[in-house]
A and B are shown apart, each in its own frame.
Chain A
Amino acid sequence: MRYNILFGGEAGQGPNILTHILGEALVNQGYYVFYARDYQSLIRRGHNFNVLTFSDKPINSNDGQIDILVALDENTKKIHKKDLIKKGIILDGKHENMYSAGRLFKILGLDFKILENKFKTLKRRFEENMKEAKEGYANAEKKFDLSPTSKNQNYFANGSQAVAQGAIKSGLDFYYAYPMTPATPVFIELAKQQTKNKFYTFELENEVAVINAAVGSSITGAKTMVGTSGGGFDLMTETFSLIGIANIPMVIYLAQRHGPATGAATYTGQEDLNTARHSGHGEFPKLVVAGGDPTELEELTSQAFYFSQKYKIPSIILSDKHLAESAYTSTTKAKITPSLKSTKLAKYNSKDTDKNQSATSRADMIKANVEKRLQKTIEIIKEAKKFNMYKVYGNKNSNNVIVSWGSPKGAILDAMKGITPCSSKMSDDLKKSSKGAILDATKDLDCKFVQILYIEPFPTEIKKELKGKNLILIENNATAQLGSLIAEKTGIFIENKNKILRYDGRPFLCDELKKEIVRRLG
């Protein structure tokens, strides 16, 4: 069982609250929910939509095909009707938002009480919401029976909330940022929780001030973090070099979006892997990690704090708009790596220094300083092996190996799974994709998936997972940046025809990706 509901309307019409209320209700009923947001860079009008996918089994992505279309405006119907399945349901007409919520609850066979309780927690507009929802509930027919399935204690969170949680649990003292999509949700989440948790968030005049003020705080011993996206990250990189030479702990959250430059500011991409790896001039150690779901992001955030404190280096956490702003159902609690504060106020310097911490240009001192940094890199590589630098899923002995990093994880895991029940059209489509090879669409795909979590240092031991296999690379960029990194670190090259690259600002969709993978299975 796997269904997709699309909520669309103008900005300000409220598809977000509607999506979230339904998502929460389904998670509380024991279902697995994933929803992604597609919104434009505008405040009112335009066309925004969310796709909510739910199932009785774990899922982490949307499909291109829609089962229920909730159209808050006419435009939504025009744009998305083509994606509706034959027997799909359209909920349209000029109604208040919560009218649609009532209708949906009835159609899905959800108890109205859940909605009523939700309205109570919203505090405002209770009477109006109830009236609208009751009307909607009365004017719909029950088509599904989503009664509670199990007593699963699942967590419903997006990637931004996970990063914020990871930072708080790591003992964050200060978070500095300048507003930038899609990094701002972490800022909002932290700002909301600051006083009760005794840390503080600050917005300064630009990203240059942000990273430098963060360094100022960090050298007094505070656990400090900054957050930004591509353009802001570029502005900060000068100071990463300073952090590198002066041995200062710093955690940097980089939420990627489609570029270059302003590109499409509210759309996704994985285009900054190289930017993160190569950020800052000169040679110095750093950590770059990338999570594929909220649980991983929370864990990696705590690891970023751990490495930055222990080795006094910049730690970069990579996410992207899709992961930052999509809500996932997590089944496991994140494992936090605790970190001790390591810095105290002393003399720090952007220059090479001698034993007295005074600037020097002596060749022997420069050489010694460089070698200290090289030694640190070696120690970081050694210690990183204690963590999940990569993960393996699926048939471990398969000849087909998918490699990826970050947010495509959700769609890949879902695409690898068999489809039940499977329509004959879907089965035919897949057979066509697989060039006539016999494929039972209800069975899991015969493949292994290697997900890279540590970009820097890199788990070179993945060589044993990849060598001699039919490799398929999946990335949300045009130049296969992970593919190049794998070649650099392992000497293994992935054939161009086996690179599934999406670079239109949109995330991978499970059903479409499945066809692309099947086409490349050996």
Chain B
Amino acid sequence: MTNLSTSAKITWCPKCYNFQILEGVKKVLERKIKSEKDRQKYAIVSGIGCHAKIFDYLNLNGINTLHGRVLPMCLGMKIARPDLTVIGFSGDGDAYAEGMEHLIHTARYNSNFKYIVHNNQVFALTVGQPTPTTEIGFKGKTIPQGVKLPPLNPIKLMLASGATFVARVFADSKQVEYVLKQALKHKGFAFIEVLQPCIIFHPDAGYKEKTYSLEKTKHDKSNFRQAWKKAEEFDYNTIKKIPVGIFYQTKKPVFEEVVK
């Protein structure tokens, strides 16, 4: 087991949920990476925002790229080096606002890399503006009247776009660990959304208590209709119950194997 820690000083807020994500990711990768040779077979990409700092905290190659451009960057790496295990990290601003066009097409391409979206439903590093997944009524300095438009449901979007692995977890290291392990076994694009409250600008409104594990129900993750129904249970606006786990998994041709 290799230590993937770096000497970089961690600048997330104390008790930030990003620590949970980092811990979960580290646990999975440190178990897989046993040597320097192994380490060279992995690459990570992050965008811009609080999530992106994870790039400095993992001793892995890759790029901390521009806002919204994580996905094409991962794709380009996989095209050139199909043997690399590539994991992309984004925030909700990266994934659903600035880089939305890439998200839809990446789901369609089905390149064999993994994608973790740290969704805190707010632009945190720019001190609290709404994102496409912010709930109605959210108020901030740039939107004193409150958000009026309903949020996007990324799980439904990914299902509709043809993603072959669609999952959502809460920002708890064990949940992250579990789902990333499954995603790495999946051959194709894996979309993982992590519901990650921002302790400063978008505190947990009771998400954790409302979540329930799909794995503990009779949910058939190969059934698209069931996945769609489960996706509709939480609209990112009103909290009733929040299913977490793998919504959908299927097999499709992998981009870098079919296009060359």
Q: Please give the residue numbers on chain A whose beta carbons come within 8 Å of chain B beta carbons, in ascending order.
A: 173-174, 176, 200, 202, 204-206, 208-210, 212-222, 224, 238-239, 242, 246, 345-351, 356, 358-359
Name B72's contact: one of A173, A208, A220, A224 (CB within 8 Å). A208
Name B80's contact: one of A173, A238, A239, A349 (CB within 8 Å). A173
- Which 5 residue pairs are nearest across A and B when measured between Cβ atoms? A216-B76, A213-B76, A212-B72, A217-B80, A358-B8
Q: List 17 A-B contacts (CB under 8 A).
A: A208-B69, A209-B105, A212-B73, A213-B72, A216-B72, A216-B77, A217-B77, A217-B79, A217-B80, A220-B77, A220-B80, A224-B76, A239-B69, A242-B66, A345-B40, A356-B8, A358-B8
C-alpha spacing A208/B158, complex, angstroms = 21
Chain A residues near B8 (CB, 8 Å)?
356, 358-359
A238 and B66 contact, CB distance less than 8 A: yes
C-alpha spacing A446/B61, complex, angstroms = 61
* Chain B nearest Cβ from A305, distance in angstroms: 16
A209 and B66 contact, CB distance less than 8 A: no
A215 and B64 contact, CB distance less than 8 A: no
> A174-B79, A347-B61 are contacts. A216–B260 as well, Cβ < 8 Å?
no
B62 sits at the interface (CB 8 A): yes
C-alpha spacing A356/B6, complex, angstroms = 9
Of the listed residues B53, B56, B60, the one surrounded by the most CB atoms of chain A closer than 10 A to its CB is B56
A209 and B102 contact, CB distance less than 8 A: yes
> A239-B69, A356-B7 are contacts. A346–B77 as well, Cβ < 8 Å?
no
Contact mask B70-89 → A, CB, 8 Å, 1/0? 01111111111100100000
> A217-B79, A222-B80 are contacts. A209–B63 as well, Cβ < 8 Å?
no
Chain B residues near A210 (CB, 8 Å)?
72
Q: Please give the residue numbers on chain B whose beta carbons come within 8 Å of chain A beta carbons, in ascending order.
A: 6-8, 40, 43, 45, 48, 53, 55-56, 60-66, 69, 71-81, 84, 101-102, 105, 259-260
Chain A residues near B75 (CB, 8 Å)?
204, 209, 213, 216
B101 and A349 contact, CB distance less than 8 A: no
* Chain A nearest Cβ from B78, distance in angstroms: 8
B77 and A206 contact, CB distance less than 8 A: no
* Chain A nearest Cβ from B70, distance in angstroms: 9
Whose C-beta in chain B lies nearest to the C-beta of A248? B63
C-alpha spacing A173/B76, complex, angstroms = 12
Chain B residues near A202 (CB, 8 Å)?
79, 259
Whose C-beta in chain A lies nearest to the C-beta of B11? A359
Chain A residues near B6 (CB, 8 Å)?
356, 358
Chain A residues near B80 (CB, 8 Å)?
173-174, 216-218, 220-222, 224
Chain B residues near A351 (CB, 8 Å)?
64
C-alpha spacing A239/B79, complex, angstroms = 19
Whose C-beta in chain A lies nearest to the C-beta of B42? A345
* Chain A nearest Cβ from B163, distance in angstroms: 15
Chain A residues near B71 (CB, 8 Å)?
209
A219 and B79 contact, CB distance less than 8 A: no
Name A349's contact: one of B43, B64, B102, B259 (CB within 8 Å). B64
A215 and B76 contact, CB distance less than 8 A: yes
Chain B residues near A347 (CB, 8 Å)?
55, 60-63
> A173-B80, A215-B76, A345-B81 are contacts. A209–B64 as well, Cβ < 8 Å?
no
Interface of B is mostly: mixed
C-alpha spacing A351/B55, complex, angstroms = 11
C-alpha spacing A210/B259, complex, angstroms = 15
Whose C-beta in chain A lies nearest to the C-beta of B73? A216
B65 and A208 contact, CB distance less than 8 A: no
**7 additional contacts (CB under 8 A) given A212-B76, A217-B77, A218-B80:** A174-B79, A212-B69, A215-B73, A216-B72, A356-B7, A358-B8, A358-B56
A349 and B7 contact, CB distance less than 8 A: no
* Chain B nearest Cβ from A175, distance in angstroms: 11
C-alpha spacing A176/B73, complex, angstroms = 12
C-alpha spacing A358/B84, complex, angstroms = 22
Chain B residues near A224 (CB, 8 Å)?
76, 80
Whose C-beta in chain B lies nearest to the C-beta of A354? B8
Chain B residues near A356 (CB, 8 Å)?
6-8
> A200-B260, A358-B6 are contacts. A213–B66 as well, Cβ < 8 Å?
no
Chain A residues near B62 (CB, 8 Å)?
345, 347-348
Chain B residues near A349 (CB, 8 Å)?
55, 63-64
* Chain A nearest Cβ from B55, distance in angstroms: 7
* Chain A nearest Cβ from B164, distance in angstroms: 18
A219 and B77 contact, CB distance less than 8 A: yes
B69 and A219 contact, CB distance less than 8 A: no
Of the listed residues A205, A208, A213, A221, the one surrounded by the most CB atoms of chain B closer than 10 A to its CB is A213
Chain A residues near B101 (CB, 8 Å)?
205-206, 208-209
C-alpha spacing A34/B179, complex, angstroms = 62
Whose C-beta in chain A lies nearest to the C-beta of B111? A213
C-alpha spacing A209/B104, complex, angstroms = 12
> A205-B101, A220-B81, A358-B6 are contacts. A345–B61 as well, Cβ < 8 Å?
yes
* Chain B nearest Cβ from A191, distance in angstroms: 12
Chain B residues near A358 (CB, 8 Å)?
6-8, 56
C-alpha spacing A151/B53, complex, angstroms = 66
Chain B residues near A345 (CB, 8 Å)?
40, 43, 61-62, 81, 84
C-alpha spacing A405/B224, complex, angstroms = 59
Whose C-beta in chain A lies nearest to the C-beta of B99? A208
C-alpha spacing A346/B63, complex, angstroms = 8
A216 and B7 contact, CB distance less than 8 A: no
Name A213's contact: one of B73, B84, B260 (CB within 8 Å). B73
Chain B residues near A348 (CB, 8 Å)?
62-64
